[in-house]
């Protein structure tokens, strides 16, 4: 997806021009992958625009930084206001928001502690992420997800996405939209950038955090919506073959939103169409973010922007 530049990027407390948001090639992050980041969506509603679960995303950024002993010079509240200021200054909605904190130009060598922490936030228009209008055709990847006690899956760290890149490239090279990785024990984990849900006999299943998944904010939103809709939810380790016999399957993620899976490894998921539980959750999710249902969980932070044309589902 090409990047559409906007006017400003937030850098360490100031708005700077998009073109000036550059770093030195000797920055620690370039060599050792020492970044933590977030991906957040701002949606438009009939009366304006709202950022989805901003505080939860910024709390996860703070958690990711803490895991990596990276002192964030801003509180969650300060980062949330920075995002609102940026989106309002750039006047782009709907949009995708990318906060990132990393170890900058300081010392060479693996130890990051003497390299300064830089924080940037950018936002730009972004539409659909997982290709396929009638559901995604995905595969099980030959790559495993991060083993426990190697790279922490609960940290949304740049370096983790080298693993995601392998999964995604392999899938696309082989003609699939996305790959699903197993964990090191062969249980289902997640997509390269999405959490995984299955439905079987009316029960909604998702893989637990112990199977090397990111604690997705869309995942938690869908679990909340499922409880509200009276759907039975089970978080448990799942064998790969559950994918092949599932009645429904879908991905969740900020980028992927709620994307139903049509097939896995060329085996249709039921008849390949979006099933009733996925449809109910998809509708409940989009009704809230699009302002068609009350925001009963206070998931949206309002922003004052002139609303542009919608760029995606």
Reduce the secondary structure of 71-108 to three states and give it as a string. CCCCCHHHHHHHHHHHHHHHCCCCEEEEEEEEECCCCC
List the one residue from 252, 259, 263, 301 that touches ligand PLP (CB under 6 A).
252
Say whether residue 194 binds ligand PLP (CB under 6 A): yes
CB of 193 to ligand PLP, least distance (A): 4
Please report the sign of the dihedral spanned by the C-alpha atoms of residue 188, residue 36, residue 22, residue 128: positive
List the one residue from 190, 264, 269, 303 that touches ligand PLP (CB under 6 A).
190
User: Distance between CA 257 and CA 30 in Å, rounded?
Assistant: 29
List the one residue from 64, 141, 206, 254 that touches ligand PLP (CB under 6 A).
254
Q: In a 3-state reduction of DSSP, which class is residue 162?
A: helix
Question: Binding mask 196-225 vs ligand PLP (x if CB under 6 A, - otherwise)?
Answer: ------------------x-xxxx------
Helix axes 54-67, 76-90, angle to 10 degrees: 130
List the one residue from 9, 39, 100, 199 that touches ligand PLP (CB under 6 A).
39
CB of 16 to ligand PLP, least distance (A): 25
156 an active-site residue?
yes
Q: Which is nearer to ligand PLP, 142 or 165 (CB)?
A: 165
CB of 21 to ligand PLP, least distance (A): 21
User: Distance between CA 174 and CA 191 in Å, rounded?
Assistant: 16
Q: Choose the stretch contacting ligand PLP; rule: CB under 6 A; options: 6-14, 134-142, 233-241, 247-255.
A: 247-255
Q: Which is nearer to ligand PLP, 199 or 258 (CB)?
A: 258
Contact 206, 213 (CB under 8 A): no
- Tokens, residue 231: 């759907």
The CA-atom distances, in angstroms, between 32 and each of 100, 112, 219, 267, 295 are: 15, 9, 29, 39, 41
Any idea which residues carry the catalytic annotation? 156
Interacting residues toward ligand PLP by CB under 6 A? 39, 164, 190, 193-195, 214, 216-219, 252-254
């Amino acid at each position: 997806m090409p990047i559409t530049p906007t006017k400003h990027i937030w850098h360490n407390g100031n708005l700077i021009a998009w073109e000036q948001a550059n770093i030195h090639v000797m920055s620690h992050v370039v060599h050792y992958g020492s970044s933590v980041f977030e991906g957040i969506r701002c949606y438009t509603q009939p009366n304006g625009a709202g950022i989805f679960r901003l505080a939860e995303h910024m709390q996860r950024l703070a958690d990711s930084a803490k895991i990596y002993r990276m002192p964030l010079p801003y509180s969650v509240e300060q980062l949330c206001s920075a995002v609102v200021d940026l989106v309002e200054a750039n006047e782009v909605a709907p949009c995708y928001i990318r906060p990132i904190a990393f170890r900058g130009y300081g010392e060479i060598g693996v130890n990051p502690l003497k390299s300064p922490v830089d924080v940037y936030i950018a936002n730009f228009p972004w539409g659909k992420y997982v290709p396929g209008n009638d559901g995604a055709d995905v595969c099980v990847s030959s790559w495993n997800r991060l083993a426990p006690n190697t790279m922490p899956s609960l940290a949304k760290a740049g370096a983790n996405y080298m693993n995601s890149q392998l999964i995604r490239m392999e899938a696309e090279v082989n003609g699939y939209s996305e790959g699903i990785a197993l964990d090191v024990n062969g249980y289902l984990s997640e997509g390269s950038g999405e959490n995984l849900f299955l439905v079987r006999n009316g029960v909604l299943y998702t893989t637990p955090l112990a199977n090397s998944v990111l604690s997705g904010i869309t995942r938690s939103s869908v679990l909340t919506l499922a409880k509200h809709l009276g759907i039975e939810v089970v978080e448990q380790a799942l064998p790969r073959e559950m994918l092949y016999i599932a009645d429904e399957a879908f991905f969740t993620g900020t980028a992927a939103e709620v994307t139903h899976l049509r097939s896995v490894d060329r085996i249709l998921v039921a008849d390949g169409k979006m099933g009733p539980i996925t449809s109910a959750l998809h509708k409940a999710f989009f009704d809230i973010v699009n302002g068609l249902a009350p925001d009963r969980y206070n998931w949206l932070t309002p922003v004052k922007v002139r609303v542009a044309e919608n760029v995606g589902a």
